[in-house]
Amino acid sequence: MARKPFIAGNWKMNKTIDEGIALVNELKILVGDVADVDVAVCPTFVALAKVGDAIKGSNIMLGGQDTFWKESGAWTRQIAPSMLKDAGCQWVIVGHSETRGRFGTVDAELESVLSYFGESDTTVNMKAKAAFAAGMTPIIACGELLAEREAGQTDQVIVGQMKIDLAGFTKEQAMKMVIAYEPVWAIGTGKVCDSDEADRVCGLIRGVVKDMYGADVADAVRIQYGGSVKPDNAVELLGKPNIDGALVGGAALKSNDFAAIIKAAK
């Protein structure tokens, strides 16, 4: 089955509302003629509605960076899936390493408060189910720390995450969901996973999906790579058979760089 490439930009804690609008207005011009690649941007919560308005009628979709698994109630600082949907989101990232408290580089100040982030595979699974219930599609992220890779635990970590993250969906949901493999040691560090190894791990993930949901689902599900994706490595990464797109961080903040990655996926 031919899987349509999907390039999503995770803006993280960057861009004011006006800066975000300016960025997508530039993107609309640069990638307006791209029809064979799905494109999404994931701004901060405060910029979602305005950026969503700016991309209406274009080929750029809107996504949230996280969500909660409840729809309302006494949950200070949380964002309900229906709120994201109301702002125009079709996609939402769940389980990003930075919400799990797993970072590529950790300074002493951050190391002492990592428990603040506190995400687990169980909450990732709950959030992904809540996203589907609200009419959005989750981008479910996974990845190993440098220490885990150096200890030869990459496969064990990824399979362990996926078995919990992907549990309990319908077959139709499993076909629609997107999985993002992001080796934690390559996020924001400038390091990038070797393309053959990135493809191998994405293939490992596809194998878990096959075991859980069958070969047809595994053949349909899109698996992105994320971790220091740039225009100069995008063609090689996106040319691999098990890599169906990219979840882009820093390069998504520059319209020319992000457009080049999108065009590399064509």
Q: Kindly list the catalytic residues.
A: 96, 182
C-alpha–C-alpha distance, residues 22 and 30, integer Å: 13
Q: In this structure, how many other beta carbons lie within 10 angstroms of the beta carbon of residue 251?
A: 21
Q: Which are the contacts of 158, defined by CB distance < 8 A and separation ≥ 6?
A: 142, 143, 144, 181, 201, 204, 205, 208
Q: Which residue has the tokens 């390069």?
A: 251
Residue 67 backbone phi and psi in degrees, to 5 = -155, 175
Helices (H), the chain: 17-31, 48-55, 81-86, 97-100, 108-111, 121-133, 146-150, 154-165, 171-176, 195-213, 215-220, 231-238, 255-264
| Single-letter residue type at 17 | I
Residue partners of 211: CB distance under 8 A and separation at least 6: none
Distance CA 151, CA 159 (A): 16
